[in-house]
Chains A and B, each alone.
Chain A
Amino acid sequence: MKNTHTSRFKTFLSWSIKLSLVGIVVLAILMAYLDAQVREKFEGKRWALPAKVFARPLELYPGLELKPKYLVQELDQIGYQRVPNVVTPGQYSLDGNEMDVYRRYVKLYDGEEQSARVHLRFSGNTIDGVWLDGQPVALARLEPLLIGGIYPKHNEDRQLIQLQDAPSLLLKTLVAVEDRDYYDHFGISLKGIARAMVVNVQRGGLVQGGSTLTQQLVKNFFLTRERTLVRKATEALMAILVELHYSKDDILETYLNEVYLGQSGRRAVHGFGLASQFYFGKHISRLSAPEIATLVGMVKGPSVYNPKRKPENALARRNVVLGVMHDQGLISDYEFAVWQKRELDVVQYSQYQRIEYPAFLDLVRRQLRSDYADSDLTSEGLRIYTSLDPIIQRSAEQAMSNRLASLERGYRMPEDSLQGAMVIAGTESGEVEAVVGDRNPRYFGFNRALDANRSIGSLAKPAVYLTALRSPEYNLITPLDDSQIKIAGANGSIWQPQNYDKESHGTVPLYQSMAQSLNQATARLGLQIGLTNVVQTFNDLGVERDIPAYPSIVLGAFEMNPFDVAQMYQTIAASGFKTPLKAIRGVTTQDGQLLSRYGYDVKQAIKTEPIYLLQKIMQRVVKEGTARYLNSQFDASLNLAGKTGTSDSQRDSWFAGFSGDKLAVVWVGRDDNESMPLTGSSGALRVWAQTFKDLPLKPLYPLPTENIVEQWVDVEQNAISSEDCDGAVQLPFIQGRLPLQTLSCAQEPAPSTGKSWWSRMFD
């Protein structure tokens, strides 16, 4: 019996030893695996730093037309604080026509701007004097607005800090509130666990964790948020490993950068560095004690104690933390009493609580794709300097959403049935200054400015007329036949375009046909000059997609997106000089080393003379033609030019228009491609007008060359005339392409008896 017991005991002992050995081996393997994970994360790059994208820096100089309200708007956006008298960087004051801006130091891709007091004097809506630290200067640059980031999939954003950047009060408070034994334990705190267990048993569930700061860091870095014993054990093991390898300071610094502190839209705010900027608009080193208390209080529950969303909770929690600070002797009785009564003082609008520009960011990302891998953009902390103009962008966004809503009301269309897109660029520089891809400008989704391929309708016409004007047989008054036209297609179909008013207008001069957007005359002209020539002109203007040489292309029966249309019209607006539209000026590393620059590039795509004539006609479109609505909205001296476009069955409403310095293309339509009661003139043109109504524009002066002559002609008779003849009008012609006939009156001067309607067109 005894032997049996001894034998059983031996067997048990033997198995126990074996199992223990297996357990030890398994634990060792597990520890080795966890150790590798810990070291890999800590010794490699700890965080993916999203690229930061900046708008253009605002250049201030005497003569710049800039409404003070727009400057104030921009200063507010870049996180400047309005004060009666500026004393530190990041402040501004406005007193009548005088403005003081204490500029912060700023590093740009092309140099840096030192912190300085910029004094501005306005005369109405124009800056008439700029001083830098008291000295008059020719120009001064402000820091650019941070307009977004290129985030990895988890949308984490952070601003890295070093331990010495953090105020010691922050470190002490954090330790006091979250982990009092931090400097004594080895990764896990038995005291903390015991305390938590007591609370959990009392409350009958897992309500409090005994996690140390190290454990919290491990949990955030490596583990899920689930509350299971296995996860908790793994967390404890890893915390011990972290403490074995790294110093307390290193762990604390990592914690300060890792901790999650709230959400801003799709962006997750991580780390005290970004949180200081996001909630208080200041660098971490300048946080006050109550602000430190607010942020430390958020660690327990970033959503519940979010000072922007749940101010009452946050205030109560802050005061609890202030209490801990007081108990620990970190603040005095007086300070505790005073600071408890203080407001949260969260900034409502800071550079870091930014408005994002999804459509523009999308363009930036696509333009960078040829030079940078996605992983570089989402992890290397690159700084991307773009040409976005926040003032123009804001105006475009507001015009789009307001106008679409009023069009829906005015035409009794269902609410939110319309959509729109817009691209605005500098005519000469080709720099994209604003992009709207949705009527809700904050929407990250389908970007109509780049991806909505729609029939361009009459926006194609300038290419047709330009093709004619490039050939020696045509001038501005060449008579065109606007009678009905029928063209049989290869498959037996018939193409029979009609004018918008369903009327035929007989014989019309070339310029009037375009100004009035006559479809029948344009169709005939396109066939006369040859469809392959028209396609060639499209290509020369910068249209890169394949356009089939079908007759209907002359009326725009093919699809383009607003961005590609803007490229085509940029060439027209810049007198035939094509500049690839670009959104990026330069890219630097995180510490400001220039990686790539995207400079000005240009190619003369079309001779200046035919473009000059085309611009003249497009000014007619605004003055007398389908875009004449602009006359009531803008000063005539701006000489704006443009073209409206409406696709078949009014599915698309377009307007492309330009001044001497800005080009904008607007599309309005429905996502389901259904008809609307809108034309280019009643839809997109209105959005264009509202966008620029309040913005400064430079006048457009088409550039003639020495080959352009001004000639008195009789338009109705297609003949050379003279100033004194009846019905004479002076028009530009390319040398050698004048009308072949000369009126007899042109040799015999006669007194003028008044002007014909042709003349009035060109007054």
Chain B
Amino acid sequence: MKSVLLVVFIALLTACSTAPYQSIDQIEVSSSDVLAQLPNWYHQNLGLQLNGGNAYPDQTALASLLKQADLEFIRGNFQACQILLERAQRISTREPSVYVRLSYLFWLEGNTQSAEQMARRALALVVRDPVASEEVKRLLVAIQANQY
């Protein structure tokens, strides 16, 4: 039920967007625009993002793919989002925020088992960052309790 609500929420976000749908390559969106459009719960839990903050690093392939993935997420296009995250994973195999995002995606799709495994993968990668660790642990607990 909750995931249905979340999906509706995302759909609303997408519907509220005034921009007509464009292919990702045609869009010139600044990093802060993308981050600002992400739901808070998604946004805040990504405190472990690259460079230690809620920002995309400049001009890297990884950041570009994450930004595109987030855009697709905002639009509710989860499959495209997942494909982009998998491309990001190939480029940077140990980037925890890729796995956190994948965890959210699976959770939203009602696949809590995979969501939990993705979160576990992320947790193993953030062990040196206590703040990020705590965030991923909270995510894990929430998934296990099947609540947000």
Q: With A575-B124, A577-B121, A706-B127 in contact, is A599–B93 under 8 Å at CB? A: no
Tell me which residues across on chain A come within 8 A of B83, comparing CB atoms.
Answer: 110, 597, 599
Whether A716 sits at the interface, judged by CB under 8 Å, is no
Closest to B85 in A: A600
- The answer, among B79, B86, B102, B124, for a CB contact under 8 Å with A577, is B124
Determine how close the nearest CB of chain B comes to the CB of A365; give it in whole angstroms: 23
Question: Using a CB-CB cutoff of 8 Å, which residues 42-98 of chain B contact chain A?
Answer: 59-61, 63-65, 79-80, 82-83, 86-87, 89-91, 93-94
- The answer, among A426, A599, A601, A705, for a CB contact under 8 Å with B124, is A705
CA distance A160 to B91 in the complex (A): 36
Q: Would you give 28 A-B contacts (Cβ < 8 Å), ordered by A? A: A59-B90, A61-B91, A62-B61, A110-B83, A111-B23, A114-B25, A139-B61, A139-B64, A139-B65, A429-B90, A431-B90, A575-B124, A576-B124, A597-B79, A599-B83, A601-B114, A602-B118, A602-B121, A603-B117, A604-B117, A608-B124, A660-B93, A661-B93, A703-B124, A703-B125, A704-B127, A705-B124, A706-B133
Cβ proximity bits A567-590 to B, threshold 8 Å, 1 near / 0 not: 000000001110000000000000
CA distance A603 to B61 in the complex (A): 27
Question: Using a CB-CB cutoff of 8 Å, which residues 121-137 of chain A contact chain B?
Answer: 136-137
Question: Using a CB-CB cutoff of 8 Å, which residues 393-439 of chain A contact chain B?
Answer: 426-429, 431
Q: With A575-B124, A597-B83, A705-B127 in contact, is A138–B59 under 8 Å at CB? A: yes
Tell me which residues across on chain A come within 8 A of B24, comparing CB atoms.
Answer: 111
Cβ proximity bits A642-681 to B, threshold 8 Å, 1 near / 0 not: 0000000000000000001100000000000000000000
CA distance A111 to B22 in the complex (A): 13
Q: With A110-B80, A138-B63 in contact, is A600–B124 under 8 Å at CB? A: no
Tell me which residues across on chain A come within 8 A of B127, comparing CB atoms.
Answer: 703-706
Tell me which residues across on chain B come within 8 A of A139, comparing CB atoms.
Answer: 61, 64-65, 91
* Most B CB within 10 A of own CB, among A428, A429, A703, A706: A428
* Most B CB within 10 A of own CB, among A137, A138, A597: A138
Known: A114-B25, A577-B120, A602-B117. 11 other contacts (CB 8 A): A62-B59, A62-B61, A110-B80, A110-B83, A138-B64, A139-B64, A139-B65, A600-B89, A703-B124, A703-B125, A705-B127
Whether A301 sits at the interface, judged by CB under 8 Å, is no
Tell me which residues across on chain A come within 8 A of B120, comparing CB atoms.
Answer: 577, 604
Whether A63 sits at the interface, judged by CB under 8 Å, is yes
Tell me which residues across on chain A come within 8 A of B87, comparing CB atoms.
Answer: 59
Cβ proximity bits B123-142 to A, threshold 8 Å, 1 near / 0 not: 01101000001000000000
Determine how close the nearest CB of chain A comes to the CB of B103; give it in whole angstroms: 10
Tell me which residues across on chain B come within 8 A of A603, comparing CB atoms.
Answer: 117
Tell me which residues across on chain B come within 8 A of A599, comparing CB atoms.
Answer: 82-83, 86
Determine how close the nearest CB of chain B comes to the CB of A729; give it in whole angstroms: 23
Cβ proximity bits A81-109 to B, threshold 8 Å, 1 near / 0 not: 00000000000000000000000000000
Determine how close the nearest CB of chain A comes to the CB of B61; give it in whole angstroms: 3
CA distance A661 to B90 in the complex (A): 9
Contact status B93-A426, CB under 8 Å: yes
* Most A CB within 10 A of own CB, among B60, B61, B63, B93: B61
* Most A CB within 10 A of own CB, among B24, B25, B82: B25
Closest to B61 in A: A61
Contact status A59-B91, CB under 8 Å: yes
Closest to B24 in A: A111
Question: Using a CB-CB cutoff of 8 Å, which residues 603-636 of chain A contact chain B?
Answer: 603-604, 608
Tell me which residues across on chain B come within 8 A of A705, comparing CB atoms.
Answer: 124, 127
Cβ proximity bits B107-123 to A, threshold 8 Å, 1 near / 0 not: 00000001001101100
Contact status A136-B59, CB under 8 Å: yes
Q: Give the dominant DSSP class at B's interface.
A: helix
Closest to B86 in A: A600
Tell me which residues across on chain A come within 8 A of B94, comparing CB atoms.
Answer: 428, 660
| Leading 9 A-B pairs by shortest Cβ distance | A61-B61, A138-B64, A139-B61, A428-B93, A110-B83, A604-B120, A138-B61, A608-B124, A705-B127
Closest to B64 in A: A138
Question: Using a CB-CB cutoff of 8 Å, which residues 12-37 of chain B contact chain A?
Answer: 23-25
CA distance A671 to B47 in the complex (A): 55
Closest to A64 in B: B61
Tell me which residues across on chain A come within 8 A of B91, comparing CB atoms.
Answer: 59, 61, 139
Q: With A63-B60, A608-B124, A705-B127 in contact, is A427–B93 under 8 Å at CB? A: yes
CA distance A704 to B24 in the complex (A): 38
Cβ proximity bits A30-59 to B, threshold 8 Å, 1 near / 0 not: 000000000000000000000000000001
CA distance A704 to B126 in the complex (A): 10
Determine how close the nearest CB of chain B comes to the CB of A492; give it in whole angstroms: 48
Closest to A575 in B: B124
Determine how close the nearest CB of chain A comes to the CB of B58; give it in whole angstroms: 9
Tell me which residues across on chain A come within 8 A of B82, comparing CB atoms.
Answer: 599
Determine how close the nearest CB of chain A comes to the CB of B111; give it in whole angstroms: 10
Tell me which residues across on chain B come within 8 A of A63, comparing CB atoms.
Answer: 60-61
Tell me which residues across on chain A come within 8 A of B61, comparing CB atoms.
Answer: 59, 61-64, 138-139
CA distance A431 to B89 in the complex (A): 11
Determine how close the nearest CB of chain A comes to the CB of B74; give it in whole angstroms: 17
CA distance A63 to B59 in the complex (A): 11
Q: With A597-B83, A703-B124 in contact, is A429–B60 under 8 Å at CB? A: no
Contact status B114-A429, CB under 8 Å: no
Contact status A138-B86, CB under 8 Å: no
CA distance A514 to B11 in the complex (A): 55
CA distance A61 to B91 in the complex (A): 9
CA distance A170 to B72 in the complex (A): 47
CA distance A597 to B125 in the complex (A): 26
CA distance A412 to B128 in the complex (A): 52
CA distance A333 to B29 in the complex (A): 59
CA distance A660 to B95 in the complex (A): 13
Determine how close the nearest CB of chain B comes to the CB of A85; give it in whole angstroms: 26
* Most A CB within 10 A of own CB, among B65, B125, B127, B133: B127
Closest to B118 in A: A602
Tell me which residues across on chain A come within 8 A of B102, comparing CB atoms.
Answer: 600
CA distance A255 to B127 in the complex (A): 65
CA distance A600 to B23 in the complex (A): 24
CA distance A515 to B129 in the complex (A): 32
CA distance A698 to B64 in the complex (A): 21
CA distance A62 to B83 in the complex (A): 21
Tell me which residues across on chain A come within 8 A of B114, comparing CB atoms.
Answer: 601-602
Tell me which residues across on chain A come within 8 A of B118, comparing CB atoms.
Answer: 602
CA distance A166 to B84 in the complex (A): 38
Contact status B79-A604, CB under 8 Å: no
Contact status B89-A62, CB under 8 Å: no
Q: With A597-B83, A600-B89 in contact, is A61–B117 under 8 Å at CB? A: no
Tell me which residues across on chain B come within 8 A of A427, comparing CB atoms.
Answer: 93
Question: Using a CB-CB cutoff of 8 Å, which residues 60-88 of chain A contact chain B?
Answer: 61-64
Closest to B125 in A: A703
Tell me which residues across on chain B come within 8 A of A661, comparing CB atoms.
Answer: 93
Determine how close the nearest CB of chain B comes to the CB of A708; give it in whole angstroms: 9
Contact status B60-A62, CB under 8 Å: yes
Determine how close the nearest CB of chain B comes to the CB of A608; give it in whole angstroms: 5
Contact status A138-B79, CB under 8 Å: no
Closest to A603 in B: B117
Determine how close the nearest CB of chain B comes to the CB of A575; give it in whole angstroms: 6
Tell me which residues across on chain A come within 8 A of B86, comparing CB atoms.
Answer: 429, 599-600
Tell me which residues across on chain A come within 8 A of B93, comparing CB atoms.
Answer: 426-429, 660-661, 698
CA distance A602 to B94 in the complex (A): 14
CA distance A428 to B79 in the complex (A): 20
Determine how close the nearest CB of chain B comes to the CB of A241; give it in whole angstroms: 49
Closest to B126 in A: A703
Tell me which residues across on chain A come within 8 A of B133, comparing CB atoms.
Answer: 706
Determine how close the nearest CB of chain A comes to the CB of B60; give it in whole angstroms: 6
Tell me which residues across on chain A come within 8 A of B25, comparing CB atoms.
Answer: 114
Determine how close the nearest CB of chain B comes to the CB of A1; give it in whole angstroms: 97
Tell me which residues across on chain B come within 8 A of A111, comparing CB atoms.
Answer: 23-24, 80
